[in-house]
Structures are given as structure tokens and as C-alpha cells.
Amino acid sequence: MLTKDSSILIVGGGIFGLSTAYHRAKAGYTKITMLEKGDAIPSPLSAGNDLNKIVRAEYEDPFYAELALSAIEELGSNPLFAPHYSQVGYLLGNSAAAPEKSKRSLAKSMASIERHPAFATQITAINSRDDVHAVASALDGPMDEWTGYFNRLAGYARAADALRSVYAAVKEMGVDVKLGRTAIIGQQITAKSWLITHIQLTPEEAAQLEGIPVTYSRDLGFFFEPDRKTGLLKISPSGAGFTNHQENGFSVPSERNDFIPPGEEEAVRKILREHLPRFADRPLVNSKICWCADTADSEYIIDFVPGRLPWKDLAVATGDSGHAFKMFPVAGVMDLLEKGKQDVERWKWKEGSNAATAEVSWREGTTRDLSELVLS
């Protein structure tokens, strides 16, 4: 039975870890310790340690749409998060050459929100270049036959800043954080990565793009408003990602991540040519592959570890599958600890899953293993 002076040990000070620490401390738990492998928070190892992340409630599954909506509400109103959230909207579409799978995924995305009362006045269909210009005049690429929609109830969070803010709060609330400390947890997920890169804009160029929506061409990739402090514009190409399989069959994050996998630079240039051709040849800076913990069905794993380990009451909150940053404000309220068991079926421990072969509708193409690539 958990009481307010029960000891809670949290391994990892990323999105799930910090959010859990914050909500447990807020609920009155007094003995919370957090071990973080990195020597700082945000940790260089955290997928959340990034310039910015998309915040949107479009999910094919209403369960996640509702969860994301509650997170968006917190992001906009909780003083811990609100300074780090910009509700610039989300422009989602497909280029003319998009494959059918990408078009189906977009249609499902729109269907997931268009009948929801929270989005009643928030969505505009985009069927022409003029429609694009009406919501984002700074996007002056051809975007021929680009179709999709603009959702005003979405935007992005300055990710590393939000992590810093919550970290300061949990320390203030008495959570004992031990940096540079590690622990081992079970494995049933596939480490999978995607490229994140940036172009550097001058202050004048950045000003021209101020306030543009997060723009995601499903089949090509996405980019953000330039960062207001640095002028860096973040870009990430679409695709099924990269794994790093070991002899034991597990994919784990690679030691070196500061490179552009073969073919990915051209993918980034294509995004720029389509939307912002004036920057199409700009050098790419701060490029890295960013790892997430992928599950076969893209569902999180938030559950107790079945009883084969020496620890009692060991729970994991992982399997983010590349879509958990936006849940930062609510990830830690998933009240597994008090309930003593996970009754949300989709988040239960998944034995024997095979994420590498999963068919997730919003991921295009084939996953490549780093061992197949010739890296420069």
C-alpha cells in the first residue's frame, strides 16, 4: 500500500520521469529520488532535449486525442509550461506526389478532430496555394496541389526550456535528483531514430517567418517557426526511422549521433524546395539523429514489471514511440502507483512485441539499420 512517505525511485529525468516526479511531489509524496544518467537535465541523452517539439491533438485514436487535448490545456495555462508553448497552429498536408498511405493517414488525422467540439472553429481546409498563403503567407514554395488543413488549436513547445522549467520546480518541491547515476531497466522496445537538423537564419529572415504554423507535409517532413532567440529553424524529414541492432537482437541508441544518414540531406532539401525555396541551399547545422523507444503498436508502456526481477513494485513509463513530448504536463498523472495495477489495456506490459515490423499508418517507408549505412 502506497503512502505519502513511501519511497519512490524514478529512473531517468526525461519527459515521463520529470512529469512523474512533478505530479507525485504535487500530490504530497515526500520521499522521491530521481536517478538521471546524464550529468545535467535536460540530459544530452533525452529525446526531449531539443529546440522544439510539435504539440497537436490529432490522433487516429480518440483516446490519445483526448489525452493530448488535456495536455494542450495545461501547456497553455500552467505557468511552468505556458512560457514555453507557442500556439501558432499546425499546417498539415501532402505534396502532390504523396503516396496513398500518406493521404489516408492525413484523412484519418483530420477526421480525428473535425467533429470534436474543441476544434469547431479551429480548422480550415487547405485545397490550393492561395489557401496556404491565407494562413502562412511566408511559405512561398510551389506547394502545387498541396492539400490538407490548418488547425489553430496546436503549435509547438520550446522543449529544452520546458524540461529546465519542470526540473527547477521538482527540485524546489524537494525531489532528490542524483545526476550521473544509472540503473538498468527491462527491454521490450526498439530504439529508433530520426534526423533532426536546422538552418541558421539572419534576424531579418527569422522575422519574416515569425508566427508561421508548424508545417508538416506528411510525405516529406516537418519544420517549425525559427527559434526566437537563435534564429535556428528546425527541420525533420518523414520516414520509418533508423534502428541500431546488436548481436543480441536488440536495437539500442548508437554512441555517435551527430551525423546525417545517407539520403536524408536530399530529403531535407526537398522540404525546403517545396515550402521555402529561398533557403533550399542553406547549410544544415546542429544535425543529429534523435532516438525514441518504439513499440510495435505505437502505444506507451506504463506498467509494473512482471515479477521476475529482484525489485518489488518496479514500474516503467516508456515506449514513447516518438509522440510523448506533448504529454509532458500530463504524463505523470497516469496514476499507476496509487492504483497498484495498470487497467488501461493499451499501456500494459507488452511481452514479445516486434516493433521493427510494425505497420503504423503515419510512418512511411522502410526502417533502415545503421549497420546497412555507409556513414561519413
Binding residues for ligand FAD, per CB under 6 A? 11-17, 35-38, 43, 45-48, 53-54, 182-183, 194, 196, 236, 290-293, 318, 320, 322-326
* Alpha-carbon gap, residue 238 to 307, rounded angstroms: 39
The residue among 131 and 299 lying less far from ligand FAD, judged by its C-beta, is 299
Closest listed residue to residue 136, CA positions, set 42, 126, 145, 307: 126
- CA 351 – CA 187 distance, rounded (Å): 10
Q: Measured from the CB atom, is 131 or 268 closer to ligand FAD?
A: 268
Could you give the 3-state DSSP secondary structure of residue 125? strand
Nearest residue (CB) to ligand FAD, 131 versus 213: 213
Are 144 and 153 spatial neighbours (Cβ–Cβ below 8 Å)? Answer: no
Cβ-based nearer residue to ligand FAD, 59 or 131: 59
Q: How far is the CB of 128 from ligand FAD (least distance, A)?
A: 27
AA identity, residue 270: K
Between 48 and 329, name the residue whose CB sits nearer to ligand FAD. Answer: 48
With CB atoms as reference, the residue minimizing the distance to ligand FAD is 14
Task: Please name the amino acid found at residue 319.
Answer: G
Extract the C-alpha cell encoding 349.
506490459
Whose cell is 477526421? That residue is: 111
Q: How far is the CB of 330 from ligand FAD (least distance, A)?
A: 12
CB of 333 to ligand FAD, least distance (A): 15
CB of 135 to ligand FAD, least distance (A): 20
Polymer length of the chain: 376
Q: Largest Cα–Cα distance in the chain?
A: 62
Q: How many Cα atoms are found within 13 Å in the side-chain-facing hemisphere of 228?
A: 11
CB of 329 to ligand FAD, least distance (A): 11
Q: CB of residue 49 vs ligand FAD: minimum separation in angstroms?
A: 7
Cell numbers of 1, please?
500500500
Measured from the CB atom, is 46 or 95 closer to ligand FAD? 46
